[in-house]
């Protein structure tokens, strides 16, 4: 699908408007505008030279959360759907989100359902979002469905932000280690080499090793830089654009020491929280579980969780379907069993999710303390090697001269 910028006039009032619309080509874009009640003046495809503008106007999670919460508030206050969408569109500052809101409004005014209108923008609204919109429309609880969506996205974004924040400290330490080592290799090692050459002394073994590394990087720095940049670009492409790369990265996340248990709890809490929303909004059990699995966002975990669908189709309860799954923590099937007996399975899943979210909070807060000793040992070892190959030979040389 391509995106086209347009200028048009409303058929009824003649009022001029402008915005953007997605379509296969320019002709289809113009026809869609006519169907929505507009007379197109200009329809132009967004050019490739607008990459910076697209980046500036991209729709972020924060923009989507704000849009969803405002829409929920206005609908909950009793405003008609079209009026609510128009008000939110006028209040939205991000140009990308504003264009999407305008297209949704135009689609709704042309007679389409809100779910179908949101489904035109699957690059922004995922399956969970669309399923809850559809369930909210069907049950007449659209405002509650939107509020649940905003709450869940805020929790998920906050959790991912905390995990990324926990990685910042180790990253800073590694940068400091590399900077110190680079300074020692560039500024100190050559001087030690020159001192030994001037005094016609043979370099110690460790110093020879450091001098060899320094000479190699000094002579072939361009090759090293090309290899590093190529490796980074290739790795990003492999992970982002290939199924095998995505699977390898997802497997690494759940098995890497220290962080693996964090990601497992994140995925379990995400599954349970999404299932709670789905069931509370009236989505059938099988559909709720399927959408909740897709919301996990880890191919390895999703593949394992998909085994539960066959068990549910066979007539067994959710608690039985989740019991023997890998990467499924035990509290979720236990709370599901309690919910099945009490008739409050959505509430029990929400409580299970809350338990793991609280544990994640505590572990993330402590992760810097856990990593610090390991990084200090690594730093001490690397710097010790450099010092052993630079300062100690100098002291030895001075002692021999004395």
Long-range CB contacts (< 8 A, 24+ apart) of 125-129?
125/64, 126/294, 126/295, 127/291, 127/294, 127/295, 128/152, 128/274, 128/277, 128/278, 128/291, 128/292, 128/294, 128/295
Residue 217 and residue 225: Cα distance in Å, rounded?
10
What is residue 49's predicted lDDT score, i.e. its pLDDT? 45
In the chain, which residues have pLDDT < 70?
1-2, 24, 27, 46-57, 368, 392, 396-402
Among 216, 192, 209, 353, which Cα is nearest to 274's?
353
Burial of 75 (0-12, 13-18, 19+ CB in 10 A): buried
What is residue 322's predicted lDDT score, i.e. its pLDDT? 92
Name residues whose C-beta falls within 8 Å of residue 303's C-beta, 6 or more positions apart in sequence.
none
Beta strands 16-23 and 38-45, pairing class: unpaired
Query: What is the chain's length?
Result: 402
What is residue 351's predicted lDDT score, i.e. its pLDDT? 93
> Fold match between 2-149 and 150-402?
yes
Residue 66 and residue 64: Cα distance in Å, rounded?
5
What is residue 48's predicted lDDT score, i.e. its pLDDT? 43
Break the chain down into helix, strand, coil percent, rounded to 5.
75, 5, 15
What is residue 56's predicted lDDT score, i.e. its pLDDT? 52
State in words which class domain 2-149 has.
mainly alpha
Q: How many CA atoms lie within 13 A of 213 on its CB side?
A: 14
- Angle between the 345-401 and 142-183 helix axes, to the nearest 10 degrees? 10
What is residue 303's predicted lDDT score, i.e. its pLDDT? 92
Collapse the DSSP code of 11 into the 3-class scheme (helix H, G, I; strand E, B; otherwise coil) and give the result.
coil
Regarding pTM above 0.75, the answer is no
What is residue 249's predicted lDDT score, i.e. its pLDDT? 92
Long-range CB contacts (< 8 A, 24+ apart) of 390-398?
390/184, 390/188, 390/189, 390/192, 390/207, 390/210, 392/204, 393/192, 393/196, 393/203, 393/204, 393/207, 394/192, 394/195, 396/204, 397/195, 397/196, 397/199, 397/201
Domain positions in the chain: 2-149, 150-402
Cα 81 off chain centre by: 30
What is residue 375's predicted lDDT score, i.e. its pLDDT? 76
**Answer CATH for 150-402 from 3.30.70.1110, 3.65.10.10, 1.10.3290.10, 1.20.81.30:** 1.20.81.30
Burial of 294 (0-12, 13-18, 19+ CB in 10 A): middle
State which H helix or E strand residue 15 sits in.
Answer: none
Burial of 310 (0-12, 13-18, 19+ CB in 10 A): exposed
Q: Tell me how many degrees the CA angle 71-114-276 measures, rounded to the nearest 5.
A: 70
Residue 103 and residue 27: Cα distance in Å, rounded?
17
What is residue 368's predicted lDDT score, i.e. its pLDDT? 67
């Amino acid at each position: 699908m391509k995106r086209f910028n347009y200028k048009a006039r409303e058929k009824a009032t003649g009022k001029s408007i402008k915005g953007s619309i997605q379509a296969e080509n320019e002709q289809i874009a113009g026809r869609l505008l006519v169907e929505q009640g507009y007379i197109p003046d200009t329809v132009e495809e967004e050019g490739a030279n607008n990459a910076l503008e697209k980046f500036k106007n991209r729709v972020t999670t924060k923009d989507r959360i704000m849009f969803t919460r405002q829409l929920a508030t206005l609908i909950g206050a009793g405003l008609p759907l079209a009026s609510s969408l128009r008000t939110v569109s006028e209040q939205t500052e991000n140009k990308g989100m504003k264009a999407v809101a305008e297209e949704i409004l135009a689609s709704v005014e042309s007679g389409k359902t809100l779910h179908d209108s949101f489904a035109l923008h699957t690059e922004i609204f995922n399956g969970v979002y669309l399923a809850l919109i559809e369930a909210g429309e069907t049950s007449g609880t659209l405002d509650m469905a939107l509020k649940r969506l905003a709450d869940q996205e805020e929790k998920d974004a906050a959790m991912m932000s905390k995990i990324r924040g926990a990685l910042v400290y180790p990253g800073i330490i590694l940068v400091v280690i590399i900077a110190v080592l680079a300074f020692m290799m560039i500024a100190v090692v050559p001087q030690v080499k020159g001192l030994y050459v001037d005094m016609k002394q043979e370099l110690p073994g460790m110093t020879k090793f450091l001098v060899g590394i320094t000479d190699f990087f000094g002579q072939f720095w361009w090759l090293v830089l090309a290899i590093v940049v190529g490796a980074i670009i290739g790795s990003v492409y492999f992970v982002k654009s290939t199924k095998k790369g995505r699977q390898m990265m997802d497997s690494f996340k759940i098995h890497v020491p220290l962080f693996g248990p964090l990601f497992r709890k994140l995925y379990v809490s995400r599954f349970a929280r999404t299932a709670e929303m789905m069931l509370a909004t009236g989505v059938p059990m099988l559909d709720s579980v399927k959408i909740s699995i897709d919301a996990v966002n880890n191919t390895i975990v999703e593949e394992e969780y998909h085994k539960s669908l066959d068990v549910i189709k066979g007539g067994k309860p959710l608690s039985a379907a989740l019991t023997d799954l890998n990467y499924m923590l035990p509290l979720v099937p236990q709370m599901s069993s309690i919910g099945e007996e009490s008739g409050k399975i959505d509430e029990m899943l929400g409580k299970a999710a809350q338990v793991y979210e609280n544990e994640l909070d505590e572990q993330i807060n402590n992760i810097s303390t856990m990593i610090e000793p390991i990084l200090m040992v690594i730093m001490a070892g690397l710097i010790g090697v450099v010092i052993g190959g630079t300062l100690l030979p100098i002291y030895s040389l001075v002692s021999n001269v004395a």
